[in-house]
Amino acid sequence: MFEKEIELATAQFRALMEEQLARQNRMEAGAVAKDYTKKDKIIVGVCGGDGIGPILMREAKRLMEALLADELQSGRIELREIEGLTIENRLACGQAVPTETLNAIKSCDVLLKGPTTTPKGGTMESANVALRRELDLYANVRPVSVPEEGIDWIFYRENTEGEYVLGSRGVELPGKLAMDFKVTTDAGTRRIARAAFEYAKNNGKTNVAIVTKANIMKKTDGKFTAICHEVAADYPEIEAEDWYIDIMTANLVNESIRSRFQVFVLPNLYGDIITDEAAQIQGGVGTAGSANIGDEYAMFEAIHGSAPRMIEEGIGEYANPSSLFKAVEMMLRHIAMPQKADQLARAMAKCTEIEKKVVVTGTREGATCRKFADYVLENI
């Protein structure tokens, strides 16, 4: 029974392992991060994506046009419209990211992207996962803050391996069993750990929480933890603490201890899950931005998905653009424009934490996306 299938699956496993070994070896060879202070011109690709994405992007573009008026005028920054990253086009092309679209994205330095829809089941991979892989965006950086509670967290989620990298390439014996593969490489872990500890060092943080389930996922998470500690040895002034993901999700809702956490470093799937929880603590996924950083490219986006339900219910215009505005802020910091980023951060803080004159709730009771954007623009 299933002799043939097992044989095919074994051959597939072998190919996957060879492919992943090659990827690890490429990473080990190292790469140099782009230095934006040395670039005369920076090209920002802009694509709205699906669902509420184009609505949010419309406002984010207005925001950038106001904030970066001089730079756009002088040509120091170009906003380049990227076509074809819609679920309709992706399904028509049968590609998570159609080749033409990928090439257009690669002609830019950074990408500001609206959420894209991922079909459930089937074989179509998520556009996010494909872009993170194709552009090698290994650090998913997600800040969350609740100033009145002293919460100032930043998550360094590994973004190119773990449960995701082969998530669409598992094996199955129909009617009997299915197996997916989780991959953790030395070089892949080392670079995300380095990013987290460098951030801690450069931002006066004293603690990094390494969050895994290494008691159960012994090989992969065991490696992740061990390598994070190897990297931590280069940062003796920073405390590196091991935590399990289950208790950490509890800790985040434990008001008596949660504000003591600072920087988190964690494998892909745990990072995915816990950052939605963290965003909810901040005020909802509509309030959180997300940076996907690689050495050559970077992509900035909202933490949430395309919210097809909001579109079905006809309330897309009530979606919160804060998530994408935060993404713009992170992008500005990444391209070495910290003053512009601070200017936006101050305006956002005034509108969402201090005055709160226009509040978006994601329902008809709240303000529209446009009204909120106007409010932020008045305060830029």
Binding site for ligand IPM (CB under 6 A): 118, 126, 128-129, 272, 305
Kindly tell me which of 126 and 320 has the beta carbon lying closer to ligand IPM.
126
Taking the least distance from each CB to ligand IPM, the nearer of 128 and 352 is 128
Give the separation between CA 177 and CA 260, rounded to whole angstroms. Answer: 43
Site for Mg ion, residues 269 to 308, rule: CB under 5 A: 272
- The footprint of Mg ion on residues 86-115 (CB under 5 A) is none
Query: Does residue 113 sit in helix, strand or coil?
Result: strand
Stretch that binds Mg ion, among 18-26, 141-149, 191-199, 266-274 (CB under 5 A): 266-274
Task: For Mg ion, give the closer residue by CB, 285 or 335.
Answer: 285
Q: How far is the CB of 273 from ligand IPM (least distance, A)?
A: 9
What is the radius of gyration, based on Cα positions, of the chain?
A: 21
- State the binding partner of 84 from Mg ion, ligand IPM, none, CB within 5 to 8 A by kind: none
Of 178, 169, 130, 137, nearest in space to 16 by CA: 169
Contact 94, 79 (CB under 8 A): no
* DSSP secondary structure letters along 201-229: HHTT--EEEEEE-TTTSTTHHHHHHHHHH
Task: Look at residue 271 and give the partner it binds from ligand IPM, Mg ion, none, a contact being a CB closer than 5 to 8 Å depending on partner kind.
Answer: none
Binding partner of residue 129 among Mg ion, ligand IPM, none, CB cut-off 5 to 8 Å per kind? ligand IPM
Q: How far is the CB of 45 from ligand IPM (least distance, A)?
A: 18
Spatial separation of the C-alpha atoms in residues 55 and 302, rounded to whole Å: 13
Cite the beta strand spans of 277-331 per DSSP E: 289-293, 298-302
Query: CB-wise, 220 or 368, nearer to ligand IPM?
Result: 220
Q: Which is nearer to ligand IPM, 289 or 305 (CB)?
A: 305
Nearer to ligand IPM among residue 20 and residue 160 (C-beta): 160
Q: Which does 126 bind (CB under 5 to 8 A by kind): Mg ion, ligand IPM, none?
A: ligand IPM
Residue 133 Cα distances to 68, 126, 166, 208, angstroms:
30, 11, 11, 26
Sign of the four-CA dihedral 177, 182, 183, 184 = negative
Q: How far is the CB of 305 from Mg ion (least distance, A)?
A: 7
Q: How far is the CB of 185 from ligand IPM (least distance, A)?
A: 18
Smallest gap from residue 255 Cβ to ligand IPM (A) = 25
Residue 98 CA, chain-centre distance (Å), reads: 20
Q: Which of 352, 341, 185 is nearest to 283 (CA)?
A: 352
Applying CB under 5 A, the residues found at the interface with Mg ion are: 272
